[in-house]
Amino acid sequence: ENGRCTTKLESMGFRVGQGLIERFTKDTARFKDELDIMKFICKDFWTTVFKKQIDNLRTNHQGIYVLQDNKFRLLTQMSSGKQYLEHAPKYLAFTCGLIRGGLSNLGIKSIVTAEVSSMPACK
């Protein structure tokens, strides 16, 4: 039951991400590479959706990107202790879908996962 709900949230986020990225990129020039797309996601897309930029973007230059938000809006209302740490990934399923949907519409097939080691930060 829990996994099914998470999957449903992720797929809803995927559809929303596809629509948002279509709207946000209609007046922008083509991106020259994958890194440019990720920079767009971290700056413009994230700012429009969450009212702040991603705090850190890392890559291994082999197709793996790590986006880090040190004060993620959806987790800031929860306890900053370890009390809700195990439940935090459920709140990130929609956001993972949002990113995956946006990347999909920009031509990048991806797997998006979320990791929370201390609240309200997430990777």
Q: Write out the two tokens for 9.
A: 């949230």
Question: What mean pLDDT comes out for the span 91-106?
Answer: 92
56 sits in which H/E element? strand 56-59
Which range has the worst mean pLDDT, 43-57, 68-82, 101-115? 68-82
What's the chain's average pLDDT?
88
Q: Measured between alpha carbons, how far is 34 from 67 in angstroms, rounded to an integer?
A: 14
List the domain boundaries for the chain: 1-122
Alpha-carbon Rg for the chain, nearest whole angstrom, is: 14
What is this structure's pTM?
0.88
- What CATH number does the domain located at 1-122 have? 3.30.1380.20
Q: Measured between alpha carbons, how far is 68 from 37 in angstroms, rounded to an integer?
A: 16
87: confidence class by pLDDT, cuts 50, 70, 90: confident
Residue from 110, 116, 113, 120 nearest 50 by CA? 120
pLDDT of residue 80 exceeding 70 = no
Question: For residue 97, what pLDDT is reported?
Answer: 94
Question: For residue 52, what pLDDT is reported?
Answer: 92
Let me know: does 47 contact 53? Beta carbons within 8 Å.
yes
